[in-house]
Amino acid sequence: MYLVSSTEMRLLEEKAAETYSLSPRVLMEAAGIAAFNYVREILGEDLQGKRIFICAGRGNNGGDALVLARYLGNAAATVRIALTNKPEQFQGPAAEALRSVTAMIARDVDEKLLAGSWDLIVDGLIGTGLQGAVTGLTKELVGFINNQTAPVLALDIPTGVNADTGEITDNCCVQANYTITFGLPKIGLFCYPAPDYVGKLRVDAIGLPLTSDTDLNLTKYLIEPSLVQALLPQRPQVGHKGTFGHALTIGGSPGMLGAPCLAALGALRVGAGKSTVAGPARYSSLLATKLTEVMTMELADNQGYITTAANKALVSSLHRYQAVLVGPGLGTNFETGAFLQTLISQTQCPLVLDADALNLMADQHRQFQSLLAQRQEPVILTPHPGEMGRLMGLGSDQVQANRVEVAQAAAERWSAVVVLKGAHTLVATPDGRLYLNPTGNSSLATAGTGDVLAGVIVGLLAQGMQPWAAAVCGTYLHGLAGDKAAQAGYGVGLIAGDLLNYLPLVLQKYMDK
């Protein structure tokens, strides 16, 4: 499913009017009907006597709310409407919608009216047309809505949310329990802090033809189950461990041996046929003890940090592996950075760079940028916001405030597929596509879950998936495993190793084609 900006949605609506004669008034009617059907899901089929308070602005969002009001009135609900402007200030389709609900309008939005007991409150104040601060009566109505105990339904997007960035305007935003967005989902609905205000999200196409929009160059997508199922490789019944690829994880340093172990196990849990950890020689016995199903390889080290002395032996064996991950627990020793540069230049198979590999890249920016640009095989980078900030010369707060733009800029700068981790992880490709992951929850905010994700991605790569597809499926399955673990009761006590048991369960669902 496409994700759109407010401008892209407006262009889609203009196209619908020009090409399919779907005028703004027709779309407004469809939006009102869609909202009406959602209200019946929220409050029940029988709306007779239900008390519903509708807040409507003078734009098309308010028009959608006014159409909804008409249908609610026809269903015998008790409806009152608060307008942000005088009726004579409404224009176009919104003015047409207003004429049919005149009797429901609250002439004075006074304290007596606002103190009423309501079964539902509807936010149709601004929608995607937000520009600047929320002021005047609109701001007062936002305060009223948020002070009620009744559930709140926002039309298209809660008032106060920026449809493109998810930012909240001056801490003034409707706190919705439900949101129904029309046409296509706006990307700001998924960019924090907006999800904390959206509530349960419903998408309704309202009859817009959305199957052939290449002329609008839509490049942002919501990762859906159907996409994951289509991308995952088939598993032949006669396959053996060699059929499903061999993943290599390189990492480990003093006090950080768990990270590469989690990654290597993650690769196996998504179906890789074989998995090997290459780590500092002095820790080889410890790695072998921690890992039963994973093979190990000794690399030359200096006081527990991998050095350039490891390159010759490692590079000569790279032909055995279908995908390589480097970085979990690697450390940022200077010699390790030189080792990494050689590895990047010599590795011909798909490569995932995670954790300390990213920190080394940030420290030696020019050298690594040149190396990545010269590679034939795409690289996958998996930074969290702090690592992304170091890669791009930004603070982590700047990254979080502009996640979409930063992820896309990083993919272009580093000639790589970029997985920007966090709530609603983003996958950006060098050719400008962006995929937003809807799975996952805050229980994943614990040490080691990022290592598991990197392992999942390299495990899918080892099975022959394209880098962008492995990143898309890996983030989705990883987040879904976290969701299943939370549902099973792990919650805030989840640890990274718990995910390993849920990955095969969520994967199997999508492998059964």
Domains of the chain with bracketed CATH: 6-218 (3.40.50.10260), 225-511 (3.40.1190.20)
Give strand pairing partners of 223: none
pLDDT score for 102 = 87
Rounded to whole angstroms, how far apart are CA atoms 367 and 371? 6
pLDDT score for 132 = 84
Could you tell me which residues come within 8 angstroms of residue 369 by beta carbon, excluding any fewer than 6 positions away?
413, 414
DSSP 8-state class, residue 273: S
DSSP 8-state class, residue 310: G
pLDDT score for 211 = 61
pLDDT score for 130 = 87
pLDDT one digit per residue (tens) for the chain, 513 residues: 999 999 999 999 998 899 889 999 999 999 999 999 999 999 999 999 999 999 999 999 999 999 999 999 999 999 999 999 999 999 999 999 999 898 888 767 777 677 678 999 999 999 998 888 999 999 999 999 999 999 999 999 999 999 999 999 888 999 999 999 999 999 999 998 999 999 999 999 999 887 655 567 899 999 999 999 999 988 878 888 888 999 999 999 999 999 999 999 999 999 999 999 999 999 999 999 999 999 999 999 999 999 999 999 999 999 999 999 999 999 999 999 999 999 999 999 999 999 999 999 999 888 999 999 999 888 999 999 999 999 999 999 999 989 999 999 999 999 999 999 999 999 999 999 999 999 999 999 999 999 999 999 999 999 999 999 999 999 999 999 999 999 999 989 999 999 999 999 999 988 775
- Ramachandran area for residue 114 (φ above 0: left; ψ -120 to 50: alpha; else beta): alpha
Rounded to whole angstroms, how far apart are CA atoms 25 and 16? 12
Rounded to whole angstroms, how far apart are CA atoms 32 and 68? 4
Give strand pairing partners of 326: 250, 353
Location of structure tokens 């006669």: 238
pLDDT score for 215 = 61
* Three-class DSSP category at 105: strand
Rounded to whole angstroms, how far apart are CA atoms 184 and 455? 33
Question: What is the pTM (predicted TM-score) of this model?
Answer: 0.93
pLDDT score for 112 = 67
Could you tell me which residues come within 8 angstroms of residue 144 by beta carbon, excluding any fewer than 6 positions away?
55, 114
Neighbours of 88 (CB within 10 A): 8
pLDDT score for 212 = 54
